[in-house]
Amino acid sequence: MNLSSSTKKIAEIAQQPCYYMAPGIDAIKFCPYPLQPQKSIDVCAIARRPASVHKSLLKCTTVVDRMRGKSEHQGY
């Protein structure tokens, strides 16, 4: 069962016409082009941080930074 299939039952219960409106988004309005904001990945680690995971995350960041033309990390 999906949302569109429930409109008939809702109309019966509410005794009012009920119409399914598919969800959507104004893709043109919310498109970041041409401004291209910097993307980030948030990581939450509670308590101890395994060195191998931290090293892998930093390595991934380095690859992304190189693709963007940055040469080093700041604040790590």
Q: Where are the domains of the chain?
A: 3-68
Query: pLDDT digits over 2-48, tens only?
Result: 678 889 999 999 999 998 888 888 888 877 777 777 766 677 777 77
Distance CA 53, CA 72 (A): 19
What is the distance, to the nearest Å, from the Cα of residue 13 to the centroid of all Cα atoms in its chain?
A: 36
Task: Classify 15 in phi/psi space as left (phi over 0), alpha (psi -120 to 50) or beta.
Answer: left
Q: What is the pTM of this model?
A: 0.31
Return the pLDDT at 75. Answer: 46
- Measure the CA–CA gap between 68 and 38, rounded to whole angstroms: 10
- The owner of tokens 């005794």 is 15
